[in-house]
A and B are shown apart, each in its own frame.
Chain A
């Protein structure tokens, strides 16, 4: 069935380092992927998205890479800051519309000062 998973449940980095969070997806028909950040007690917050016709997209301090061959997605955060500490989820859209997302279980990122 459809599933989105993460390689590591937790990630600890030093402030200023770059962070890489990975995600594997199983549905080759998925055409749209999103990374969300969720801080404690809050709802998921959109970070960056990418369509399946792209392999890289950059935002402010964040880059998403998509490797369709191995069905792998990654989120790179440059110069990680304490405010980046949160749980990060990848999500895939498998239906062609924007109303349904399948979420991974999340990776908890801790940034040490």
Chain B
């Protein structure tokens, strides 16, 4: 059981380049989310999904796109990378039942935009 897998772990982009950060979970969780973490800051929500085919914006969605074609995968696309998008990106998946919510985070992708 791998949990939440993010690839790549590290990436350097030039300003204006595009790329996709991959996220996959094998726990059959309904919900998936993308967060970014900047130095000295907590995690801020970029986009989230409550199920296949359903996505919505979080706190800082500008410059990012997402899609959820399957339950397992939730890729994050940077359309035209900017230095302000230099950050560590975390994907999370979660479930909800009557008694608690369960959140699992991936190990992160460290992105540098030069």
Residues of chain A whose beta carbon lies under 8 Å from any beta carbon of chain B: 4, 32, 34, 36, 41-46, 49, 51, 89, 91, 93, 97-106
Contacts and interface: CB of A to CB of B under 8 A. Distances in A.
A98 B90 contact: no
A46 B104 contact: yes
Contacts of B4: 43
B108 interface: yes
Nearest to B42: A103
Interface of B: 4, 31-33, 35, 40-45, 48-50, 58-59, 90, 94-96, 100-108
A97 B97 CA distance: 10
The B interface, classified by DSSP as helix, strand, loop or mixed, is: strand
Contact of B96 (A42, A43, A98): A98
Contacts of B94: 98-99
Contacts of B90: 43-44
B40 A98 contact: no
Given A49-B100, A49-B101, A93-B101, A101 B45 contact: yes
